[in-house]
Amino acid sequence: MAHQYDLVVVGAGYAGLMAAKTAGENGLKTALIEMKHNITKPLRADCQTLLPMAEGEDYLEETVNYDPKTGVIKFVKNDLSFKYDGPYRNIYAFHFYSVDGEFVKFGEPSEQRKRGDKGRISIALDKSKVLSSLLGQAKTAGVEVFPGTVVTGVSKIDGGVKVTSNLGKDFTATFAIAADGANSRIAQILGFNKDRGYYSSMTVLGYYSKDLKVPDPDTAYYIGAQYENTSLIVAVVPRPYEKEHVVVFISVDCRVDLLKFYKYLTEETKISSWFKGAKSELVNSSCNNMWSTIEKPYKDNVLLVGDVIWCQESENFGALYSGGMAARAVANAIKSNNPTEEGIKGYLQWWDSAFYNNPKYQHDQLMANYLLGIVLNNEEISYLFSKINVTLKASMHPYLLLTDLGKAIGPIAPEIQKEKPQILAGLGRTQQESPAEILKDEAAAGFPNR
C-alpha cells in the first residue's frame, strides 16, 4: 500500500526542522507536524546558543562552524548545514557565580575577545530567526507543514507507520522521526519510557532582559543556588543584540515556585545589582521530564532524535545534528529501496559510536551539572568559588565543566578539608552517588509520562 509520505516528522523545534529540511532536500515527500500554531515563536525556554564551539572542542565526534559572511552554520565532518538569516554574537567566556557574588571563571573574556572568532566558546543566536530560517528552507525543499496539530498516537502499519492527531487527521508514511522533545508522546507510546531512568521533572522560566548590569557583555553566566532545599541554576546569556540577555531560571524540582525565586534573586541577593534598572519580561517557560539516554533510538520505522533521546545537554548542537543525521539515514533507506531497520542502520551506528558507547560521554554527567545546590548550600558554594582563584579553560562544554572544576579544586582540597570538610563531603556525593539517587526527592514529586 502506498503511504501519503516518505517521512513524517513530529515536532518543529531545532531537531525536527533540521530533519524535515534535510529530508526535503534529499527528495523525500515529507510532512512536518507541530503542536504550536506559530512555529517561529520560541515558546520553550532555552539559552539560545550554539555550543560547544571553543577552538579544538568537539561534540559527538563533530565540530560546528558559523561563517557570518555566508550565514551558513555547518557541521563540518558530515557536511550537514543550514543558512541562518539573523544576527549572532560571540560568547567568549563562561563564569559560574554563587548568589553571594563569588565566582569561578572559565576563560578571561578580555583575553579571549582579542582572538576574535578563534577565542569564542559559543555563539548566541536569535532563536526566532533560527526557527524561521529552518522553516523557510524546509518549505522551499517542499516539506508540507501542519502547525497547531498535537500527535495523539503512533502505530505500525504495513511497510510503515501511522501518526494520528487531535484534529482527527492521520498521516501515513514509510518512516517517522520523533522530534517531540523531552516529554515525547511518541517515546511514551512506543514504550521507551517504561524502563528508562528518570531523574526529575524540571521546570524553567525564560526572560528577555534589557540593560542588565553584568560584569562583561560577552560572557555567559550561570548562578548556582540552593533554594527550598533543592538546586537551581540561573543562566544569564547574551542575546545577539546590544545590552540584551536571555535569563533562564531552571529548577530540578517542579515544586519550586520559580516566580518567587525570581523575586528573591533579583531583589534579595548580591546578584540583584545586575537587575537594578533593567527591564525583564517573562517570554517563555518549560517543563521537561529528564530521562536517561535511549540506547537504540529506533522502533517500528520510527527514528527518535533531539531531546527525545537524551537530556538537552547539547544546547541545540545535538538537536540539529541528530535531526539531520536521522533524515539522511531515512533518505538512504528509501533511495536504496530498503525501508527497514537495516536501511537506516547508519543512524543507529552513528548514535552508538558518537555518543551512546563513546567513553567521552558519561551520560549522568549532564545531570550532575545541575546538582550543586543539593549537595552544597549557598554559603558553601560561595566559599568554594572564593577559593578557586585560577582561570579555567574557556569553555561551556557540558561534559567538561565538572571535570575542569574538579581539577581546580584538587590543589586546594587540603585547605578546604581543614576549614570546611562538609564541602568535600558534599562534592563527594556527586562521585559516590548517581544523580538519580541524589534526586530521589525531586523525582518523587515529578510526573514521568511512562
Beta strand 144-146 pairing with 30-33: parallel
**Considering beta carbons, is residue 61 or 257 the nearer one to another protein?**
257
**Phi-psi map region of 28: left, alpha, beta (phi>0 left; psi -120 to 50 alpha):** beta
**Considering beta carbons, is residue 81 or 284 the nearer one to another protein?**
284
Own/partner pairs for 354-357, CB < 8 Å, 24+ apart? 354/60, 354/61, 354/62, 355/60, 355/293, 355/310, 356/293, 356/295
**Considering beta carbons, is residue 112 or 289 the nearer one to another protein?**
289
**Considering beta carbons, is residue 226 or 288 the nearer one to another protein?**
288
Closest contact distance (angstroms) between CB of 389 and another protein is: 37
Closest of 266, 268, 299, 103 to residue 190, by C-alpha: 299
Closest contact distance (angstroms) between CB of 297 and another protein is: 17
Going from the C-alpha of 23 to that of each of 170, 332, 339, the distances in angstroms are: 20, 10, 14
d(CA 14, CA 214): 29
Closest contact distance (angstroms) between CB of 184 and another protein is: 7
**3-state class (DSSP) for residue 210:** strand
Contact 438, 375 (CB under 8 A): yes
Contact 51, 315 (CB under 8 A): yes
- Residue 195 CB coordination number (10 Å): 8
Question: How many helices (H) and strands (E) in the chain?
Answer: 16, 21
Q: Residue 4 corresponds to which cell in the numbers above?
A: 501519503
| Residues engaged in binding another protein (CB under 8 A) | 35-38, 41, 43-45, 148, 150, 152, 166, 180-181, 183-185, 188, 201, 203-205, 254-255, 257-259, 282-289, 445, 447, 449
d(CA 376, CA 226): 7
**Considering beta carbons, is residue 99 or 258 the nearer one to another protein?**
258
Closest contact distance (angstroms) between CB of 447 and another protein is: 5
**Considering beta carbons, is residue 28 or 250 the nearer one to another protein?**
250
**3-state class (DSSP) for residue 324:** helix
**Considering beta carbons, is residue 378 or 449 the nearer one to another protein?**
449
Closest contact distance (angstroms) between CB of 33 and another protein is: 12
**Considering beta carbons, is residue 171 or 356 the nearer one to another protein?**
171
